């Protein structure tokens, strides 16, 4: 049997990339410089969750004193949205071990993030637009939502895509309420304790979050009236882009929050009309001064005061469809929910 020399001091391990950020199904490299004064015998990479357990013997390299390890692995398509720890154990010819750990994370620097008030997936597709509600991205991994809580103890979660809660939905981590988890199966709601406007900030990399109540906006700065102007409203056959009453639809001001306006309307081709799309904007019932269009006409996510593009060319038919319109002129968010 080969007699290996004594090597009483453990080897030195220097990880090149101790934090790895990648995407599902992508290859990534783990790299490290291994060093031992006498000789390196082997290194082992281990992560049981991904069935990784591989010992590479360095006998064929004549037990080198230095070795640059570059090991390719693939993040499984089914990897959980958490930080994964892959251990590296380096052994020298004397049997002494040194360890290091790679932390592998999903690239959770999503381009957009949305707020939801319900985990019922059908709510995501029951709207013309506005659900889920887009929030602000303030930096890499950093998001900030401003939310109007209508009632105390309202529940919210966050999702990075508009149409699905899976596999990633951010909510409170059940094992640590100071942190969020991105696992849709376990995420608990973030509970907004009171009523009014709140700022919710979070970081998808560190999973830290904070909830902060905002001062009540000055009611005097809210517009007295907001109306829908456009076309394609079944019960308003004459409102073809007129901008005065009675050919605009005045909305109902919320009795509590003067910035919020709601109205239940029917979208459809009014009898006697031939156009087959609906188009609209919001106005202050003030000619064309002070109005709101949208960030994107075909697929609006937020309203743009005195700018943006006309919401529209939503296909309509002779059969009217009832929607509840909710417009928050403070947040510049609007949603049309099918009734």
User: Which parts of this chain interact with another protein (CB under 8 A)?
Assistant: 1, 14-19, 21, 31, 33, 46, 48, 53-55, 82-83, 85, 87, 99-101, 103, 105, 109, 139-142, 175-176, 205-206
Decide if 323 contacts 336 (C-beta within 8 A). yes
Decide if 279 contacts 228 (C-beta within 8 A). no
Q: What gap in Å lies between CA 137 and CA 301, rounded to an integer?
A: 14
Decide if 117 contacts 62 (C-beta within 8 A). no
Residue placing its CB nearer to another protein in the complex, 44 or 164: 44
Residue 55 Cβ vs another protein, minimum distance, rounded to whole Å? 5
Residue placing its CB nearer to another protein in the complex, 15 or 304: 15
Residue placing its CB nearer to another protein in the complex, 46 or 96: 46
Residue 322 Cβ vs another protein, minimum distance, rounded to whole Å? 43
User: 274-292 b/e with 16+ CB inside 10 Å = b?
Assistant: eeeebbbbbbbbeeeeebb
Backbone region of residue 156 per phi and psi (left: phi > 0; alpha: psi in -120 to 50; beta: other values): beta
Residue placing its CB nearer to another protein in the complex, 100 or 189: 100
H/E stretch holding 131: none
Residue placing its CB nearer to another protein in the complex, 95 or 121: 95
Residue placing its CB nearer to another protein in the complex, 66 or 238: 66
Q: What gap in Å lies between CA 199 and CA 306, rounded to an integer?
A: 25
Question: Phi, psi at residue 121, to the nearest 5°?
Answer: -60, -25
Residue 102 Cβ vs another protein, minimum distance, rounded to whole Å? 9
Residue 139 Cβ vs another protein, minimum distance, rounded to whole Å? 4
Helices (H) and strands (E) in the chain, counts: 0, 29
Residue 22 Cβ vs another protein, minimum distance, rounded to whole Å? 12
Residue placing its CB nearer to another protein in the complex, 56 or 214: 56
Residue 160 Cβ vs another protein, minimum distance, rounded to whole Å? 16
Residue 143 Cβ vs another protein, minimum distance, rounded to whole Å? 12
Residue 206 Cβ vs another protein, minimum distance, rounded to whole Å? 5
Decide if 27 contacts 72 (C-beta within 8 A). yes
Residue placing its CB nearer to another protein in the complex, 100 or 297: 100
Tokens representing 325 are: 């319109």
Listed in sequence order, the residues at least 6 apart from 108 whose beta carbon sits closer than 8 Å to its beta carbon are: 81, 141, 160, 168, 182, 204, 205
Decide if 307 contacts 296 (C-beta within 8 A). no
- Where does residue 52 rank: exposed (0-12), middle (13-18), buried (19+ CB within 10 A)? middle
């Amino acid at each position: 049997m080969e007699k290996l020399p004594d090597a009483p001091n453990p080897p030195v391990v220097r990880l090149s990339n101790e934090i790895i950020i990648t995407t599902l199904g992508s290859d990534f490299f783990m790299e490290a410089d291994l060093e031992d004064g006498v000789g390196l015998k082997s290194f082992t990479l281990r992560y049981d969750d991904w069935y990784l357990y591989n010992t590479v013997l360095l006998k064929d390299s004549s037990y080198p004193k230095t070795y640059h390890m570059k090991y390719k692995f693939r993040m499984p398509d089914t990897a959980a949205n958490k930080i994964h720890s892959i251990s590296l154990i380096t052994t020298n010819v004397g049997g002494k071990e040194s360890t290091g750990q790679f932390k592998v994370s999903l690239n959770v620097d999503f381009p957009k993030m949305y707020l939801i008030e319900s985990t019922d997936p059908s709510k995501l597709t029951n709207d013309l637009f506005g659900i889920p509600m887009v929030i602000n991205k303030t930096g890499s991994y950093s998001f900030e939502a401003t939310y109007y809580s209508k009632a105390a103890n309202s529940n919210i979660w966050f999702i990075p895509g508009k149409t699905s809660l899976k596999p990633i939905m951010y909510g409170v981590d059940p094992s640590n309420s100071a942190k969020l988890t991105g696992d849709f199966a376990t995420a608990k709601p973030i509970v907004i304790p009171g009523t009014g406007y709140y700022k919710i900030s979070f970081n998808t990399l560190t999973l830290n979050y904070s909830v902060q109540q905002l001062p009540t906006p000055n009611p005097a700065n809210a517009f007295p009236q907001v109306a829908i102007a456009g076309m394609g409203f079944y019960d308003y056959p004459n409102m073809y882009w007129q901008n005065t009453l009675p050919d605009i639809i005045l909305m109902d001001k919320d009795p509590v929050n003067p910035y919020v306006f709601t109205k239940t309307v029917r979208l459809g081709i009014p009898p006697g009309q031939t156009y087959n799309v609906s188009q609209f904007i919001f106005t202050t019932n003030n000619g064309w001064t002070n109005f709101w269009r949208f960030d994107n006409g075909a697929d609006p996510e937020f309203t743009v005061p005195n700018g943006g593009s006309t919401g529209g060319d939503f296909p309509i038919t002779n059969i009217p469809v009832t929607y509840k319109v909710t417009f928050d002129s403070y947040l510049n968010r609007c949603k049309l929910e099918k009734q």
